[in-house]
Chains A and B, each alone.
Chain A
């Protein structure tokens, strides 16, 4: 029986190829996602370990938490005498003061803006320094710099060239050496400028202070003992940590920033596998239907039902194993492609050799085999139920079972019901996911029962167009189970794309609306780099506010704080000037009250926390620990969103709580009677020394705020396209099989005078019909759930449903055209059928 299984599987290579493809894609996504995150994790681990390789302990200013939302918190500089005090502790072999900060590199007048960090650091030789000189020599004088080899190669920097480094201060420095990092030519997605310690202190305006002290233990001294001794010597204001732990924490923080990508890729793998499962089930039921006679013959010859069942499942197992192996290989290859794709959408991932772990291999095979075999169980059970006499009978059309209809109806009703519960009551938003699953499951079960009606409805224009269209519609309606599964697979992909499009557009347009409503500034200056904290040099505010054309300049800053286990963001504003550039609506309290060191909350936050004006909010800050801030006002949700966070404090309060010196936005009102163009010219001139500062109009400012959404949306949509592609191949597959089944009918049609063109049109019309059915289902489903999600989101911030009609029509058009393309091959095959042979087919 096993040999027979193997032989029948191999005999149907073409058909299996498409089934394989469906599984392969899912496994590829899963493997690609895992490989990519494993690789990123290892690269980040390596990077952080290399950075502290020769160092046993690091002394820094003590903070309550190291990093928030992937950004390392700013620490106060250490006093100048600290390195000497540490060096004096017994057991310390070396105590190297280090300065680290941000310094934009400018080569030949052009700023080099990497997607990652612009590192400016003091040079230290090994073992305390982590960089090695690859050519030239280390910086010795204060006007000398060493840059990393990758940047030098990428921007044609040679030894002896002069580059500009822009930190708090700006300096022109001569390149005397090129550095590497571990076995690499630099840090991933970053530029590195290494200068002398005094030079770094001057550029970052640290005075005699240093960022940290790297400590090397003397031979034979246990780092743990040394840590305790140094701790005792320097006091509790300073943190002494094993460099190993710092590396691990840094890597973990960096990995955290990428965790969403893994989530997205695994979710896509799930979607692809779901689409795949439909196609597998479809292909296997067609194969079983076509093999009814063969199976009946086997049964008549003495094969038991169990043997037939195992034979079909064995075939599925073979397909699953093969597909998993191929998917695994492709996934490893795809990891590189996804990395490139992510980069194209502005999500930089560390570059380096790929990591394939045993877990990835296991997951790939488990997922591939399980999905394939599980999808084939239904068809296999039908196959085992084939009666021996069926060999002599024509197979009767399968009818939709009553149980299936009832279960499907229940599931389909559960979807909208759960949606209604989320919208009407305050049921948790994740219930929407359950609702979506219910709706999809319901459709999958009800599909065969609904398909004939839906097909005739959607196919009405086709049927009106002529007999070919009529026959195409009939053919799709005749095999409802197959049509439903094929259409649903495609509908699922299209639903996800539509969901993303509607949700993204709604959020974007809501952000835009709030922003336009609240921010009345004439101009906005922001960093082109869209860093987490804004990344605008404070010099920008100083220069812009002094311009005669500028009547009011008001700046915003962002900060992170800990709220129990969660990390949250807050916005610091200038209560005196903000009302002149923003139109804020308070439901309680007012902006001026912020001056006393209080906090303003967005309405929904106050509601969720049951806080009102006069209550207190405990907040943990990295530098100052836990403080309790009095609530002095409640702000409309949309207004809070225009300020980017739900928590607003005054800049004075910010200065007491944070040491970060970075602005997020400078909102500008020009003086009365100033020509707009002239004002823009003079602001731009004032920004000349800060190349990453960008003068933005409102649209650009909104785009900066929604950039992350757009990036993820773009990336996910492109990846979803692959799932849609597989679903389209499903149409090709289904049609090819349907043509095989209808060979005699096609022969007859040709004999009585249907031309090849008419026949091709008929097949293509069926493909387009299935695509149209899928589009209608998918777009309605996706847009519907997006609308529900928007409503649910509206509880936290006013979110209006914005339907991107153009984009949805594009999805529809692409799906229809793709359906047409999917039908090309089967249509050609059908047109090429030999009329005589076709008529003779039983």
Chain B
């Protein structure tokens, strides 16, 4: 993989898709309590591709889960669009995920009994809505899934499965898509293809994407990298390259005993 130097300049829009203010999230109690997030404050710009990086235990997954409404926080504020996630109950957060957020996970992205097409339109089906046929056709064609729609996940390759997941994440025209190590289980060519699709979604569709990764090559596809350490934001890097990311990660990893990879 090479550093993507031919990236077009980022959109000038300064709109914020989601932001976290002084977010604290503690797991466990008493002596065993772990502060996964310890006053994290971050803004994710709309229409951009943002990567979140950090060593293991830095809180990057927790931050993503909090931003996406998958998890609650103990203190602080999360604003998605104009909505304060901390004010929402469980059901409202579920509906928000369904209608306004898209997800791509590292593995087990698809319901095994549903076909690829059914998996793609699942959020719409759950909402009792019908897919926009044009958008569906466009997504499916872009992701190269046209002849795979009737297959079940078990009959698809790992890369195809992740592409189906991307299509599902995009079908609802979500305000933001969260991808949690989306290339973690893929070989390098499939990973590259998938990252290309995410990049394309940002560039062509103006989609906001947040990706958690520990892979500098993946992070280099993003417009900007947010670094996390010990539950706090530890700097940002615009127009990241692999060497730049690597050197930042090395610095982050140094004080901690655990490596990022």
Contacts and interface: CB of A to CB of B under 8 A. Distances in A.
Interface of A: 466-467, 471, 474-475, 477-478, 744-745, 748-758, 835-836, 839
10 contacts: A474-B114, A478-B113, A748-B111, A752-B103, A753-B98, A753-B127, A756-B94, A758-B126, A836-B65, A839-B105
Contacts of B127: 753
Interface in B94-151: 94-95, 97-99, 103, 105, 108-114, 122-123, 125-128
B89 to A, nearest CB: 11
A394 to B, nearest CB: 10
Interface string B210-231: 0000000000000000000000
B126 A475 contact: no
Closest 10 CB pairs between A and B?
Answer: A753-B98, A474-B113, A467-B125, A744-B108, A755-B94, A753-B123, A753-B97, A753-B126, A752-B123, A754-B126
Indicate the size class of the contact surface on chain B. Answer: 20 to 34
B108 A748 contact: yes
Most buried by B among A466, A750, A839: A839
Nearest to A757: B91
Nearest to A748: B108
Interface in B4-40: none
B155 interface: no
Contacts of A756: 90-91, 94
Interface of B: 65, 70-71, 90-91, 94-95, 97-99, 103, 105, 108-114, 122-123, 125-128, 168
A496 to B, nearest CB: 34
Nearest to A397: B154
B97 A751 contact: yes
Contacts of B113: 471, 474-475, 477-478
| Most B C-beta atoms less than 10 A away, residue of A467, A757, A758 | A467
A478 B153 CA distance: 14
B35 to A, nearest CB: 17
Q: Name the residue in A466, A745, A752, A755 with the highest tally of chain B Cβ atoms < 10 Å from its Cβ.
A: A752
Contacts of A467: 122, 125-126
A379 B12 CA distance: 64
- B90, B111, B122, B125: which has the most chain A beta carbons within 10 Å? B111
B98 A752 contact: yes
A281 to B, nearest CB: 24
A762 to B, nearest CB: 11
Contacts of A835: 70-71
A239 B246 CA distance: 114
A477 B112 CA distance: 12
Contacts of A754: 94, 98, 126
A471 B127 CA distance: 15
Nearest to A749: B111
Contacts of B99: 753
Given A475-B113, A755-B98, A839-B108, 13 more contacts: A466-B128, A467-B122, A471-B111, A750-B94, A751-B70, A751-B97, A752-B126, A753-B97, A753-B98, A753-B126, A755-B126, A836-B65, A836-B70
A559 B255 CA distance: 104
A745 B112 contact: yes
A755 B70 contact: no
A465 to B, nearest CB: 11
Contacts of B65: 836
A836 B126 contact: no
B112 A755 contact: no
Contacts of A471: 111, 113-114
A751 B126 CA distance: 12
A471 B115 CA distance: 12
A752 B168 contact: yes
Contact of B95 (A748, A749, A753, A836): A753
Contacts of A477: 113
A125 B216 CA distance: 109
B126 A745 contact: no
A744 B12 CA distance: 40
A835 B126 CA distance: 17
A474 B112 CA distance: 10
Contacts of A750: 94
A748 B126 contact: no
Contact of A751 (B95, B103, B110): B103
A471 B110 CA distance: 13
Counting chain B CB atoms within 10 Å of each CB, which of A750, A753, A755 scores highest?
A753
A578 B113 CA distance: 73
A836 B111 contact: no
Nearest to A753: B98
A247 B105 CA distance: 82
Nearest to B98: A753
Contacts of A755: 91, 94-95, 98, 126
A451 B127 CA distance: 30
A745 B70 CA distance: 15
B122 A752 contact: yes
Contacts of A836: 65, 70-71
Contacts of B97: 751-753
| Residue among B103, B123, B126 with the highest chain A CB neighbour number at 10 A | B126
Nearest to A478: B113
Contacts of B125: 466-467
Contacts of B110: 748
A151 B108 CA distance: 74
B114 to A, nearest CB: 7
Nearest to A758: B126
B163 to A, nearest CB: 16
B109 A748 contact: yes
Contacts of B91: 755-757
Contacts of B95: 753, 755
A363 to B, nearest CB: 45
A750 B65 CA distance: 13
A745 B108 contact: yes
A839 B110 CA distance: 11
B194 to A, nearest CB: 18
Contacts of A478: 112-113
A471 B109 CA distance: 16
A466 B127 CA distance: 10
Contacts of B111: 471, 745, 748-749
Contacts of B103: 751-752
